Amino acid sequence: MSDLPRSTSSKSEPSPAPISFSSNGILRGNDGNWSIFDVSVGTPPQHFEVLASINKASVSLPFSASCSINNSTPCTNFQTSNSSTWTASNSTVGFDILYNGAQSLGNHSIVSLSESVYNPNTGFLGIGTVASKGYVGRWQYTGSDTENSSFIQSLKTQKLIPSVAFGYTAGAWYRNSSASLVLGGYDAAKLDRSDASFDFFADRDTAISVNLKNLSIDGISSAENLLSEGVVATFDSSASFLSLPSKTCDVLGSLLGLQLDQRSGIYTYNSSMYKELQASKPNMTFSFSNMGKKHVQTNITLSYQSLAFLGNPPVFTVPTWFFPMKVAKNESQAILGRAFFQEAYAIIDYDRNNFTIGQATFSNESNIITIKAVDRRVPIVLIVIFVLGLAFIVCSFIVAWIRDKKTKKYSKALYDKWINAHATDLGMKQGYEDEHVYHFLGLDLVHGEE
């Protein structure tokens, strides 16, 4: 835990408290049981259910141009024309007031309208942004020609949260544990102490990625490592499943008796094998390492319960038990979605350009820890030292220049006096400059100085 950001005392102005989102206790989804959050948008407020997305940077609400409140069927889409505070940027992006319960989350939060949300009734609360040292939060949205502050950066700019950071876990319905989201901090009660902090792979990065070195299932001796080679794993809570290389999917399918459903692209359980696995309850362990120079590694274990999902129509034609896995589009990459975050806790700290992935706990308690922002302001004492040092250098230069000027004038006067005194003997006239005379007098030769 030594790498985790902590709340620290400061003599500066008071820091705002973190904003905590609590699940409404309702489970949604035809591809699993997902714990959701409630938000309200606009004036008067329109209410929506949202899932947290660590990769999106705005609030994504369900929207369809064909949806109208005049339709005979209820319309759950965001009605921009009904909000007096809506400001459109273009046809799919705009700004409006967002509420977490009765708490207003800033004057104008970025809102994107899309038909590609989780489902027609559920949107995404985008809490991602750009990771960069000294540059946080500017994001160019699809369909927009300009960069805008991400939702979480906007909250920090308006001093509504203490830092551009958050803590998140998706919740686990089988443990009666709800999703938890804290902006500007994290819930220490939801995080096991066996964790590690990783650096973002690249500056100005938007993806949260690590090296997935090893993937194993205990109790299955023939599968020491289910990966033929290490892959880059990207965390994405807007995705429901685990997307793994095709070879890994084939091995898992063989070991667990899974069958690929061609219609959905999801691996379903063989009924007899499902009962056998229910009895043995094997766990799956992910071994991660850092993609940066610093060597960091950690293991996250998913219980069998987190890998047994009941799917309903329209995902399947009939209720079906399935393994939350799909074939990844790229053999060298993996995507770990909400299924992973049922038993993992993430702390993403964009100010410090790092993130923590730890084992989640299922405590009903809460212990909110504030993550302070990195103070990039130059301390006043350093400014004073710099100014005094600069003043000293300037004064020293001026004094040296004046002294040099006086020395040159004195040298010329002494030279003229000596020449006048010895002009007759030396046959020289006043003003004759002879470097030998200067050397004799121990002076520097000066030409044309007054």
**Regarding beta strands 284-289 and 297-302, do their DSSP bridges make them parallel or antiparallel, or are they unpaired?**
antiparallel
Phi and psi torsions of 260, nearest 5°: -80, 120
CA 412 – CA 407 distance, rounded (Å): 9
pTM (two decimals)? 0.78
pLDDT at 13: 65
- Tell whether the torsion through CA atoms of 414, 415, 420 and 426 is positive or negative: positive
Q: Return the amino acid letter for 210.
A: V
Q: What is the DSSP letter of 167?
A: E
Query: In sequence order, what DSSP letters do the residues of 55-124 get, joined into one string?
Result: S--SEEEE--TT--TTSSS---S--GGG-TT-EESSSSEEEE-EEETTEE--S-EEEEEES-SSBTTEEE
The residue behind tokens 């690929």 is: 260
**pLDDT given at position 5:** 54
| Residue 362: both structure tokens together | 């299922």
Helix, strand counts (H, E) of the chain? 6, 30
Q: Are strands 325-327 and 320-323 parallel, antiparallel or unpaired?
A: unpaired
Going by C-alpha positions, the residue among 44, 34, 29 that lies closest to residue 78 is 44
Q: d(Cα 106, Cα 19) in Å, to the nearest integer?
A: 12
Angle, alpha carbons 192-182-104 (nearest 5°): 170
CA distance readout (Å), 420 to 300, 414, 426, 444: 97, 10, 10, 19
CB 208, CB 55: distance < 8 Å: yes
Fold equal for 15-190+361-389 and 195-360 = yes
Count of CB atoms situated within 10 Å of the CB of 156: 25
- C-beta atoms surrounding 174 within 10 Å: 13
Tokens of 319: 């209720």
Q: Cα–Cα distance between 321 and 310 in angstroms, integer?
A: 4
DSSP 209: E
Q: Which CATH number fits domain 15-190+361-389: 3.30.930.10, 1.10.240.10, 2.40.70.10, 2.60.40.1180?
A: 2.40.70.10
**φ, ψ dihedrals at 182, nearest 5°:** -125, 120
Q: Are strands 180-183 and 165-169 parallel, antiparallel or unpaired?
A: antiparallel
Side chain identity, residue 64:
S
pLDDT for 8? 45
Render the burial of 325-361: b for 16+ CB within 10 Å, e for the rest.
bbbbeeeebbbbbbbbbbbbbbbbbbbbbbbbbbbbb
pLDDT digits (tens, 9 = 90+) for 242-266: 999 999 999 999 989 999 999 889 9
SS3 330: coil
* Per-domain boundaries in the chain: 15-190+361-389, 195-360
pLDDT tens digit string along 299-310?
999 999 999 999
Beta strands in 97-248 (DSSP E): 98-100, 103-104, 109-114, 122-126, 138-140, 147-149, 165-169, 180-183, 185-187, 191-199, 209-217, 231-235, 242-244
How big is the chain, counted in residues?
450
Q: Which residues of the chain have pLDDT under 50?
A: 1-2, 8-11, 68-73, 131-146, 427, 429-432, 438, 440-441, 443, 446-450
- How high is the pLDDT of residue 274? 85
Give bridge partners of residue 165 from the DSSP assignment: 349
> How far is Cα 190 from Cα 369, in angstroms, rounded to an integer?
11
Instruction: Give the contacts of 389 (CB within 8 A, at least 6 positions apart).
Output: none
Q: How far apart are CA 269 and CA 288, in angstroms?
A: 27
Domain 195-360: which CATH number of 3.40.30.10, 2.40.40.20, 2.40.70.10, 2.60.120.260: 2.40.70.10
